[in-house]
């Protein structure tokens, strides 16, 4: 990196690409490296009926955001920035504030999304004001209630709050994020008529189910903007089966990594306005931007292979249908949350984050979780996950 101007040089980019073994996508990376100090033509899509278009690649911020990464994301058009009141104890929002303090002219180009876990009007107001203060801005573009599990959690008070706050100019649009019972939450939101946007888990594993297809279509018809998260559907493609080998080899021949192919699978659905993903380093940012600007589409055989791979490895991935398994354990164990923490550990290699979240579960429940009988939950699980084994693993290792 050039320490004088604090920008990335073309050589830095190429070195980073080489270090990550991204020779297979060197053409788009080379293209990016040529334009490291310029904007690139990031595709955009309309965000529901808001009248606003957003880039198809968003920058997820559950990280201690690096200023250079933010600068480069802005230059390359990944200008949908997703954060939350709770991310990194508020530091994620503070980093955005630091950036906007230095580059205030960028505020109009950045679509800022933040979230609050508060379930009361007073709590939402408190969290929103704190977020605005941290991010040094007068408004956020999209404000989410965080981690909604049932549409009934959004009552008339919250509707009135969203309308009042929009009218007051502190938020432009309102919606929610969801990782549990996503499809039911989306179908419910489509009937409400006052939800502008939803961020939900969506990937090559989840996108083919009838429930998800119906949920996305209902939201599209209702004019709700959709942001996909958890788009990798777990970790990288392994190479222990014929399908996996064929999949990985096939994408490499086409010039993609499997991670890029999974993004492309999500973008195939025109109703998904934006993919929001954590990009912890410049290599992943480059790779994802390269995938976004590269116009090669997946063939129908590519998609069939991804689908087959999803089927063969389905017991590795929790689909978030927590109504099924948690009701079977009388809601004692937060199975869906624990599955997500295990994903942080197994797929992202981030044991610290997994352990931090897991330890927030009260000690009494953690002890109970280790001794629960999960037989009925496992019978109900459409992914055939070994729920008991995984819950005990979480208690033991996290």
Cα 152 to chain centroid distance, Å, stands at 23
- Closest approach of Cβ 332 to ligand SF4, in Å? 14
Q: Toward ligand SF4, which CB reaches closer, 97 or 320?
A: 320
Cβ of residue 348: shortest distance to ligand SF4, in angstroms?
Answer: 17
Looking at the Cβ atoms of 94 and 205, the one nearer to ligand SF4 is 205
Q: How far is the CB of 187 from ligand SF4 (least distance, A)?
A: 17
Q: How far is the CB of 324 from ligand SF4 (least distance, A)?
A: 4
Say how far residue 140 (Cα) sits from the centre of its chain.
18
Least separation in angstroms between residue 396's CB and ligand SF4 is: 18
Q: What are the φ/ψ torsions at residue 273 (nearest 5 degrees)?
A: -75, -40
Nearer Cβ to ligand SF4 (52/339): 339
- State which residue, 72 or 201, has the beta carbon closest to ligand SF4: 201
Query: Of 91 and 347, which has the nearer Cβ to ligand SF4?
Result: 347
Output the smallest distance, CB 298 to ligand SF4, in A.
25
| Site residues (vs ligand SF4, CB under 6 A) | 318-322, 324-325, 335-336, 339, 380-381, 383, 385, 387
Query: For ligand SF4, which is the closer residue by CB, 285 or 319?
Result: 319
Q: Which one, 289 or 324, has the nearer CB to ligand SF4?
A: 324
Q: Which is nearer to ligand SF4, 123 or 382 (CB)?
A: 382
Tell me the closest approach of the beta carbon of residue 237 to ligand SF4, in angstroms: 20
* Choice between 291 and 385, CB closer to ligand SF4: 385
Closest separation in Å from C-beta 150 to ligand SF4: 14
Rounded-to-10 torsion of CA 187, 188, 189, 194:
140
Q: H/E/C letters for each residue in the chain? A: CECCCCECCHHHHHHHHHHCCCHHHHHHHHHHHHCCCCCCCCCEEECCCCCCEEECEEEECCCCCCHHHHHHHHHCCCCEEECCCCHHHHHHHHHHHHHHHHCHHHHHHCEEEEEECCCCHHHHHHHHHHHHHHHCCCCEEEEEECCCCCHHHCCHHHHHHHHHHHHCCCEEEEEEEECCCHHHHHHHHHHHCCCCEEEEECCCCCCCCHHHHHHHHHHHHHCCEEEEECCCCCCCCCCCCHHHHHHHHHHHHHCCCHHHHHHHHHHCCCCEEEEEEECCCHHHHHHHHHHHHCCCCCCHHHHHHHHHHHHHCHHHCCCCCHHHHHHHCCCCCCHHHHHHHHHHHHCCCCHHHHHHHHCCCCHHHHHHHHHCCCHHHHHHCCCCCCHHHHHHHHHHHC
Least Cβ distance, residue 205 to ligand SF4 (angstroms)? 10
């Amino acid at each position: 990196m050039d320490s004088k101007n604090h920008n990335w040089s073309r050589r830095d980019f190429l070195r980073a690409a080489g270090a990550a073994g991204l020779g297979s996508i060197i053409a788009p990376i080379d293209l990016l490296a040529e334009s490291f100090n310029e904007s690139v033509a990031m595709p955009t899509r309309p965000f529901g009926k808001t009248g606003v278009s957003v880039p198809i690649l968003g920058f997820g911020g559950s990280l201690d955001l690096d200023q250079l990464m933010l600068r480069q994301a802005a230059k390359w058009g990944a200008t949908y920035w997703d954060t939350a009141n709770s991310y990194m104890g508020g530091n994620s929002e503070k980093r955005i504030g630091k950036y906007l303090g230095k580059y205030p002219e960028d505020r109009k180009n950045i679509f800022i999304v933040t979230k609050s876990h508060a379930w009361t009007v007073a709590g939402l107001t408190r969290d929103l004001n704190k977020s605005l203060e941290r991010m040094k801005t007068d408004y956020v573009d999209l404000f989410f209630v965080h981690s909604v599990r049932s549409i009934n959690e959004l009552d008339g008070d919250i509707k009135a709050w969203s309308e009042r706050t929009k009218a007051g100019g502190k938020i432009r649009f309102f919606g929610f994020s969801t990782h549990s019972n996503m499809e039911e939450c989306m179908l419910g939101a489509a009937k409400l008529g006052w939800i502008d946007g939803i961020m939900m888990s969506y990937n090559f594993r989840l996108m083919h189910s009838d429930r998800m297809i119906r949920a996305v279509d209902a939201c599209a018809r209702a004019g709700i903007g959709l942001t996909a998260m958890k788009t990798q559907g777990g970790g990288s493609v392994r190479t222990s089966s014929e399908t996996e080998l064929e999949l990985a080899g096939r994408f490499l021949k086409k010039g993609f990594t499997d991670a890029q192919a999974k993004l492309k699978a999500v973008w195939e659905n025109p109703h998904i306005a934006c993919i929001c993903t954590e990009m912890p380093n410049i290599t992943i940012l480059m790779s994802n931007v390269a995938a976004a600007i590269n116009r090669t589409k997946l063939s129908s055989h590519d998609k069939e292979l991804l689908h087959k791979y999803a089927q063969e490895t389905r017991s590795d991935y929790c689909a978030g249908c927590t109504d099924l398994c948690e009701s079977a354990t009388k809601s004692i164990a937060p199975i869906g949350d624990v599955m997500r923490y295990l994903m942080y550990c197994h797929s992202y290699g981030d044991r610290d984050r997994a352990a931090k979240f897991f330890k927030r579960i009260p000690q009494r429940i953690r002890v109970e979780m280790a001794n629960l009988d999960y037989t009925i939950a496992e019978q109900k699980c459409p992914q055939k996950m070994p729920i008991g084994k995984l819950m005990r693993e979480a208690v033991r290792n996290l």
